[in-house]
């Protein structure tokens, strides 16, 4: 059976050599987060901080820091849940191979939450200011909960059946909030709590919310699981836990996770927002301060022996990368059933997840045509942009499996090679402008608003890809240091961006004009302009991060031989992507040298991290 609470998980990980203790004093401001990031990068164990400066509660990090540990944590239930998911693809499988599904009735029973009169989390109360004040990056606006499970119910139909459990950022301290009375609740667009909050606003009443921290690891996984609308996350948590999840109910309260380590209970007022942030985010930059809802805290509960789990976010890969990979393993086979004609998708973690989605689809609309061209692929891509978390994607690059049966969206270099050899630059770009984008993406024209582009590619090779800079390649003033990053991809350095938001840069248009006479440039269909060509070209992780987190398709794509015809845009020779940091972008995250030296000391001979980092 799965873990009932966090304490069981910690004890079991320690017994199996998957957790270490750090008993020396560690500050939750900057030091704890820096340690977690370094241990994660080293593929190290979970870390229990027993001596948190100025706080009575221990903290634990990196619980989910490796795929092996993720599989170990859910080893008792993972196969059963995967089999249940496969039933969506082929319901008759359970009839033909009934012995593999003998546990299905029990798993279904476990999805139903158990109602309790009380639970360990109700044993003690404290104040918000008693909780660990985790600050991961120097410009963070205050202490944050980074592994929260935010629970709400639909005011129209309360109960588990219409509930939502999400991992939304919770700011505990900061200048905006009344000490011990208010915390910030940052939820992004396309999140399940949104309809609950909208209904409460319509009814002019507060929305009750509980924030759980700790408890069964299945609840943490459920909070980040992209489930279909109408399937409550708490049901999935029970299946992953291998037992019914207990909630304290009654007395008119919103259900409280009985085995949680902490619970903040309160209400969101229908007409109150305050500045939340800045905060280091998973794109590798700071998300700046913006108005978000405020949770008025009524109670803070905690169990005896409570431990505060946390992670830190930053430029990927980070610990949250493991959640994405684990979820992909569980759900990859379901993609064709959710998106007809799509065989594989890959939200690229190195590019910040939402900025870049690679997909492999089918192109079968006109099988008798002399030459295959994108038609069904465009339908597939629009489906991806209209459903689930893939709707937040900014660049959707989709290729036809018929052209290359072995193509994989997870082989990024191979995918780009296939796409660039076949792309028709005059035909294959399809823009959506003035639309909704990820809240954390500052490349657009305003908060939550920017553009998207579908690049759909099918048919025979259109070109060979260049591996050497053309002999007469000549750059105008302000551009320099051209480098071949990969076959068909050039990276060019440039002076800093100096334009305003929602503006084209005439310098990039002049670059396109200058390059229009370069012979052999057609072998380089993609040219990326960056602040630092050497850094961008160093490896695929750098290239993907710079190119797709720092550009907005409609604003930042230019061309050699660019044209617009009947509102369709294309380029005759090459596409130029302006991937410089813009004047309006949020700053990138930078480590603190003094803090890094402190972590180095823990890794020195005799230190608790010696041999790990």
Q: What's the rounded mean pLDDT across residues 412-422?
A: 98
The rounded distance, in Å, linking the Cα atoms of 447 and 287 is 10
| DSSP labels, 260-277 | -SEEEEEEEEEEEEEEE-
Q: Does 342 map to a domain?
A: yes
- Whether 301 and 323 share a structural domain: no
DSSP code at position 496: P
Q: Say which range, 328-337, 347-356, 601-610, has the weakest mean pLDDT.
A: 328-337
- Each residue of 2-49: pLDDT tens digit? 899 999 999 999 999 999 999 999 999 999 999 999 999 999 999 999
Residue 592 lies inside a defined structural domain of this protein: no
283 and 342 both lie in a single domain: no
Q: Is residue 343 part of a domain?
A: yes
Residue range 145-150: mean pLDDT, rounded: 97
Please tell me whether residues 290 and 329 are part of one structural domain. Answer: no
Same domain, 430 and 483: no
Do 446 and 503 lie in one domain? The reply is no
CATH number of the domain where residue 200 is located? 2.30.110.10
Based on the fold, state whether residues 128 and 257 are members of the same structural domain: yes
**Does 566 have pLDDT greater than 60?**
yes
Full domain range(s) for residue 361: 319-457
What was the pLDDT predicted at 440? 85
* Confidence at residue 329, expressed as pLDDT on a 0 to 100 scale: 87
Picking from 254, 279, 310, the residue at the C-terminal end of a domain is 310
Q: Are residues 553 and 428 in the same domain?
A: no
Averaged pLDDT, 396-420: 97
Rg (CA), the chain: 25
Q: Give the integer Cα–Cα distance in Å for 328 and 71.
A: 13
Closest CA to 287 of 153, 190, 205, 184: 184
Per cent of the chain over pLDDT 90 is: 83
Cβ neighbours of 583 (radius 10 Å):
12
pLDDT of 86 reads 61
Here the CATH number for the domain that contains residue 531 is: 3.40.1670
Name the percent of the chain lying above pLDDT 70.
Answer: 95
**pLDDT over 70 (residue 605):** yes
Residues 122 and 262 in one domain: yes
Cα angle 234-321-245, degrees, rounded to a multiple of 5: 15
Question: Given this model, what pLDDT does residue 159 score?
Answer: 93
The reply to whether 600 falls in a domain is no
DSSP 3-state of 530: strand
On average, the pLDDT of the chain sits at 93
Residue 239 located in a structural domain: yes
Residue-level pLDDT at 29:
97
CATH number for 357: 3.40.1670.10
Whether residue 74 is predicted with pLDDT greater than 70 in this model: the reply is yes
- Mean pLDDT for 167-185 is 95
Query: Checking DSSP bridges between strand 342-347 and strand 262-276, what pairing results, if any?
Result: unpaired
Q: According to the model, what pLDDT value does residue 147 have? A: 97
Rounded CA gap, 149 and 309, in Å? Answer: 11
Residues 416-430 have a mean pLDDT of 98
pLDDT in tens, 490-536: 999 999 999 999 999 999 999 999 999 999 999 999 999 999 999 99
Regarding whether 305 and 326 lie in a shared domain, the answer is: no
Q: Is it the case that residue 102 has pLDDT exceeding 70? A: no
Q: What is the number of structural domains in the chain?
A: 3
Structure tokens at 467: 């591996």
Instruction: Say whether both 400 and 333 belong to one domain.
Output: yes
608 in Cβ contact with 602 (< 8 Å): yes
Closest CA to 360 of 386, 388, 398, 395: 398
Least confident of 55-64, 188-197, 229-238, 482-491: 188-197
- 383 and 330 share one domain: yes
- pLDDT number for residue 332: 80
Tens-digit pLDDT profile for residues 444-502: 999 889 999 999 999 999 999 999 999 999 999 999 999 999 999 999 999 999 999 99
* More confident: 444 or 105: 444
Minimum mean pLDDT range among 95-109, 117-131, 209-223, 465-479: 95-109
pLDDT score of 110: 84
Instruction: Note the pLDDT tens digit of each residue in 235-286.
Output: 999 989 999 999 999 988 999 999 999 999 999 988 889 999 999 999 999 9
pLDDT tens track for 294-324: 999 999 999 999 999 999 999 999 999 999 9
**Per-residue pLDDT at 90 exceeds 50:** no
Instruction: Choose one of 286, 310, 334: the last residue of a domain.
Output: 310
Indicate whether 558 belongs to any domain: yes
Query: Per the domain annotation, does 91 fall within a domain?
Result: no
For 460, residues 6+ apart whose C-beta sits below 8 A from its C-beta are 371, 372, 403, 422
DSSP H or E stretch at residue 418: helix 412-422
**Please, what is the end-to-end C-alpha distance for the chain in angstroms?**
33
Between residues 256 and 390, the one the model is more confident about: 256
The predicted pLDDT at position 335 comes to 82
Query: pTM, whole model, 2 decimals?
Result: 0.92
| Domain match, 525 and 574 both | yes
Residue 120 structure tokens: 């360990």
């Amino acid at each position: 059976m799965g873990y009932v609470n966090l304490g069981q998980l910690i004890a079991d990980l320690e017994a199996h050599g998957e957790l270490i203790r750090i008993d020396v004093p560690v500050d939750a401001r900057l030091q704890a987060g820096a340690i977690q990031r370094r241990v994660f990068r080293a593929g190290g164990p979970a870390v229990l901080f027993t001596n948190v400066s100025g706080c009575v509660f221990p903290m634990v990090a990196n619980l989910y820091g490796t795929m092996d540990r993720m599989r170990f944590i859910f080893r008792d239930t993972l196969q059963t849940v995967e089999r249940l998911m496969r039933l969506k693809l082929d319901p008759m499988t359970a009839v033909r191979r009934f012995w593999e599904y003998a546990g299905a009735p029990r798993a279904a029973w476990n999805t139903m939450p158990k109602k309790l009169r009380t639970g360990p989390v109700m044993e003690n109360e404290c104040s918000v200011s008693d909780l660990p004040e985790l600050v991961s990056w120097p410009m963070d606006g205050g202490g944050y909960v980074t592994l929260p499970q935010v629970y709400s119910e639909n005011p129209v139909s309360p109960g588990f059946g219409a509930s939502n459990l999400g991992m939304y950022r919770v700011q505990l301290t900061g200048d905006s909030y009344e000490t011990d009375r208010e915390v910030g609740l940052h939820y992004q667009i396309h999140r399940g709590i949104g309809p609950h909050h909208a209904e409460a606003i319509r009814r002019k009443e507060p929305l009750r919310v509980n924030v759980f921290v700790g408890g069964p690891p299945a609840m943490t996984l459920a909070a980040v699981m992209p489930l279909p609308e109408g399937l409550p996350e708490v049901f999935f948590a029970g299946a992953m836990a291998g037992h019914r999840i207990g909630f304290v109910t009654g007395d008119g309260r919103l259900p409280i996770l009985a085995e949680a380590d902490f619970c903040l209970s309160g209400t969101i007022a229908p007409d109150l927002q305050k500045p939340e942030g800045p905060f280091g985010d998973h794109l590798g930059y700071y998300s700046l301060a913006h108005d978000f809802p405020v949770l008025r805290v009524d109670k803070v509960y905690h169990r005896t022996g409570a431990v505060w789990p946390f992670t830190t976010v930053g430029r990927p890969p980070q610990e949250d990368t493991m959640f994405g990979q684990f979820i992909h393993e569980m759900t990859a086979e379901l993609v064709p059933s959710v998106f007809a004609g799509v065989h594989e998708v890959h939200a690229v973690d190195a590019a910040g997840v939402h900025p870049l989605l690679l997909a492999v689809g089918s192109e079968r609309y006109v099988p008798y045509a002399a030459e295959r061209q994108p038609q069904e692929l465009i339908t597939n891509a629009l489906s991806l942009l209209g459903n689930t978390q893939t709707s937040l994607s900014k660049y959707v690059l989709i290729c036809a499996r018929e052209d290359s049966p072995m193509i994989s969206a997870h082989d990024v270099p191979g995918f780009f090679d296939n796409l660039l050899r076949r792309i028709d630059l005059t035909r294959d770009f399809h823009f959506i402008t003035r639309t909704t984008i990820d809240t954390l993406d500052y490349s657009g024209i305003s908060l939550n608003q920017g553009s998207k582009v579908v690049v759909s590619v099918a048919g025979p090779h259109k070109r060979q890809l260049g591996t050497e800079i053309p002999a007469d390649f000549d750059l105008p003033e302000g551009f320099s240091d051209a480098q071949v990053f990969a076959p068909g991809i050039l990276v060019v350095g440039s002076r800093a961006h100096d334009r305003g938001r929602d503006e084209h840069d005439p310098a990039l248009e002049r670059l396109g004009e200058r390059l229009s006479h370069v012979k052999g440039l057609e072998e380089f269909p993609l040219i990326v302009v960056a602040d630092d060509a050497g850094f961008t070209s160093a490896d695929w992780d750098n290239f993907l991060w710079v190119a797709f987190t720092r550009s907005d398709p409609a604003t930042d794509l230019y061309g050699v031989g660019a044209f617009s015809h009947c509102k369709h845009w294309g380029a005759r020779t090459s596409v130029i992507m302006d991937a410089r940091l813009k004047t309006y972008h949020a700053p990138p995250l930078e480590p603190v040298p003094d803090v890094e030296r402190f972590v180095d000391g823990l890794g020195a001979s005799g230190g608790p991290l010696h041999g790990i980092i």
